[in-house]
Amino acid sequence: MFLNNPLLEKLKKTLHDKLPQVEGIVKGNEKGFGFLDVDAQTSYFIPPNDMKKVMHGDKIAARIQVEKNREIAKPERLIEPFLNTFIGKIEIKKNNIFILPDYPLLKELILCHFDKNSSHNFKTGDWVVAQLIMHGLQREKKFRAKIIKFIIEENSFLVPWKVSLSRHNLNMNEPKLYPKEIIFDQSSDRKDLTHLDFITIDSLNTKDIDDALFIKKEKNNNISLFVAIADPTSYFSKNSNTDKIALERGFTNYLPGFNIPMLPRTLSEDLCSLKPNVKRPALVCRIVVNNQGDILYEKIFFFLAWIKSKAKLVYEDVSDWLENIGSWQPQTDAIGNQILLLNHFSKIRTIWRNTHALIFKERAEYKFNISDNGEILNISRNYRRIAHKIIEEAMISANSCSAKILSEKLGFGIYNVHSGFDPINAKNVAEILLHYNITITEKEITTLSGFCKLHRILNKLSNNYISNRIRRLQSFGEIATIPNPHFGLGLKSYATWTSPIRKYSDIINHRFLKAIIQNKKVIKPNSSITSKISDCRRKNRMSERDVEDWLYTIFLNQTKYKKSIFDAEVIDITRGGIRAKIIENGANIFIPMPFLHKNRNELVCNQEKGIINIMNKIAYRLSDIIKVKLREIRIRSRSIIAIPIELS
């Protein structure tokens, strides 16, 4: 009697409409159910059957109803899908093509459509780019996707690289060369410095050499350092195809095993590269430094020149020679003298920065050594040596000089800026330090001098836990068109120009510096340029991290590592567990809370302080070195799960 009763249907609709509606983000769970996060404090349970209508990450509207005394979110309307264009793997079942999205919490296969004219014969395991064309909350109540592009076959060793680059919509190959555009500009006057003993110091396999140095001692004991930088803008003009592609890429993308250049290799590794014994055009800065390491800014001089590098030196060889180890020797006394003078320059500039600015804390750098067929041979842990510091000090000095000149002559450029702490975090830092009887006001540490003072105090304190807590409160570096301090370096302004082969921001500054030299007018860049460069940098870093995570899971999935015990440094503490870095090879690992202590009720996590208490005693904290054993290698999510052995 009640079947299809319009009054009953109307009553149901009225009752349904009276249920409260909320909006939030779907959070999936490996067990099939999920939650709708409305805000930081409010979350509603989504049953497994209803989770089939949505995906982890979807923004939806839902009705809240009560079932068995529990509030349940019933998905009702899609606001914004988590998936739009995405990466996934093909699976073929009963002549139908499905795709599994490459996200750990998305486990449901999606039926795929593809262009019937496609020449590719899709197979199970193929990696592709796809686009979601139908959602489970839309009219047909089903998920559908369309294949846009084939990436790579499952068994290729290039999978980590090609999939990661595709995920971030980055180029996989070098830019197209436009030969008719590559015309050297002969209109500029250049000083002939080919007789001077310029040298380059780089890694053994570096081909895109963009800086060369010559140094001499003056009669008054001042030091003159000539920093010569490759001049790609003398080969192609602004707004040419080559220039537009360089802007689009923003940077040379350095990934484990290989790089994808910003400029065609004909330019970056040949015509512009400061190779030994070849005459090359360069933009040069003369920097004069006194015995105390002060740069005499009134003597800064930028000019165009011809140079000829007399030797391509390698970091390790130069460092060995200066440390009196190994058998390598400079090929001439003149080159040896250059190395000794550069080392002296580096030492006095390091002392100056340690007193008046800031120096970098030594951290290990990890390098994947990969064979031609993609096999990971090993992962080396390296530290910056004397030769690295020589180049670092020369480049920092040169970039501070360009910032000074651009600020004075133009009032704009492309600057690297870092604001230290915002007012709220400055207050938090001051409160943290008070607990350790260190008095420094929040107002003081928002100034450049106060920020430097703070970090000198932290260096003397040598407490990694405090340093890490405070570092987490610092602002991120930015790119700006007007000069502002770089607190992280302790400098009043900083504008890089020393890597124009590899960074488009340096190309822009090159053009500005040339305009100053040639007394030409230029237009201030708008914010869209800095946004574009920042976005390129972010994508490159994410792709590098993704490739590394993938390679680490492959490397540590070997049998010989599964029973190994590693030392690891705690780098973050979250509600879910501990993030740590294996000291031996740099791999990031995760230790879930249940692995830390059997009784969860006896465990208290304080994310803000970076501490985990067990039975009212500190068990783990930021910067602790702990011993861990690998528990599970999750290839699909590129994550490594570990379990602690004991506190070191």
Structural element, H or E, at residue 75 = strand 70-80
pLDDT of 251 above 80:
yes
- Are 453 and 562 contained in the same domain? no
Residue 647's pLDDT is 45
User: How far is it, in rounded angstroms, from Cα 178 to Cα 647?
Assistant: 59
- Residue where one domain finishes, among candidates 46, 80, 114: 80
pLDDT of 116 above 80:
no
- Which of 502, 504, 506, 546 is labelled catalytic? 502
Considering the domain boundaries, does residue 506 fall inside one? no
- Are 402 and 471 contained in the same domain? no
Considering the domain boundaries, does residue 14 fall inside one? no
- Are 603 and 620 contained in the same domain? yes
Residue 13's pLDDT is 52
- Which of 44, 315, 415, 620 is labelled catalytic? 315
- Are 327 and 297 contained in the same domain? yes
Q: Is 549 considered catalytic here?
A: no
Q: What is the pLDDT of residues 199-214, one digit of tens each?
A: 999 999 999 999 999 9
Q: Is 208 considered catalytic here?
A: yes
Q: Is 39 considered catalytic here?
A: no
Out of 11-25, 88-102, 349-363, 582-596, pick the least confident: 11-25
Buried b (16+ CB within 10 A) or exposed e, 59-83: ebbbbeeeeeeeebbbbbebeebbb
- Residue where one domain finishes, among candidates 407, 431, 447: 407
Of residues 621 and 648, the one with the higher pLDDT is 621
> How large is the average pLDDT for residues 472-485?
95
Residue 40's pLDDT is 80
- Are 446 and 388 contained in the same domain? no
- Which of 58, 126, 208, 506 is labelled catalytic? 208
pLDDT of 252 above 80:
yes
Closest CA to 265 of 368, 170, 173: 173
Percent of the chain predicted with pLDDT > 70? 96
Q: Is 50 considered catalytic here?
A: no
Look up residue 487 and give its amino acid: F
Q: Is 189 considered catalytic here?
A: no
Closest CA to 591 of 612, 576, 606, 604: 576
Considering the domain boundaries, does residue 528 fall inside one? no
Helix ranges, 442-494 (H): 448-461, 464-471
Residue 117's pLDDT is 66
Considering the domain boundaries, does residue 351 fall inside one? yes
- Which of 50, 126, 202, 231 is labelled catalytic? 202
pLDDT of 648 above 50:
no
> How large is the average pLDDT for residues 77-92?
94
- Which of 50, 58, 210, 243 is labelled catalytic? 210
Q: What is the pLDDT of residues 34-84, one digit of tens each?
A: 999 998 888 999 999 999 999 999 999 999 998 888 899 999 999 999 999
Overall domain count for the chain: 5
Residue 528's pLDDT is 93
Residue 6: pLDDT band by 50, 70, 90 thresholds?
low
- Are 595 and 633 contained in the same domain? yes
CATH number at residue 67: 2.40.50.140
- Are 217 and 312 contained in the same domain? yes
Owning domain of residue 240: 179-407
- Residue where one domain finishes, among candidates 440, 458, 475: 475
pLDDT of 18 above 90:
no
pLDDT of 12 above 60:
no
Structural element, H or E, at residue 544 = helix 527-556
pLDDT of 15 above 60:
no
- Are 293 and 403 contained in the same domain? yes
Considering the domain boundaries, does residue 332 fall inside one? yes
Provide the whole-model pTM.
0.91
- Are 62 and 203 contained in the same domain? no
Strand ranges (E), 137-210: 144-152, 191-192, 199-202
- Are 95 and 130 contained in the same domain? yes
- Which of 50, 58, 126, 211 is labelled catalytic? 211
pLDDT of 635 above 70:
yes
Considering the domain boundaries, does residue 349 fall inside one? yes
pLDDT of 443 above 80:
yes
- Are 150 and 292 contained in the same domain? no
Contact at 8 Å (CB) between 567 and 584? Answer: yes
User: How far is it, in rounded angstroms, from Cα 113 to Cα 134?
Assistant: 11
- 532 in helix, strand or coil? helix
Q: What is the mean pLDDT of the chain?
A: 93
Edge to edge, what strands does the sheet with 603-606 contain?
A: 603-606, 611-614, 617-621
pLDDT of 175 above 80:
yes
Q: Is 211 considered catalytic here?
A: yes
Considering the domain boundaries, does residue 589 fall inside one? yes
Considering the domain boundaries, does residue 452 fall inside one? yes
- Are 211 and 296 contained in the same domain? yes
Residue 4's pLDDT is 60
Q: What is the pLDDT of residues 578-619, one digit of tens each?
A: 999 999 999 999 999 999 988 888 999 999 999 999 999 999
Residue 561's pLDDT is 87
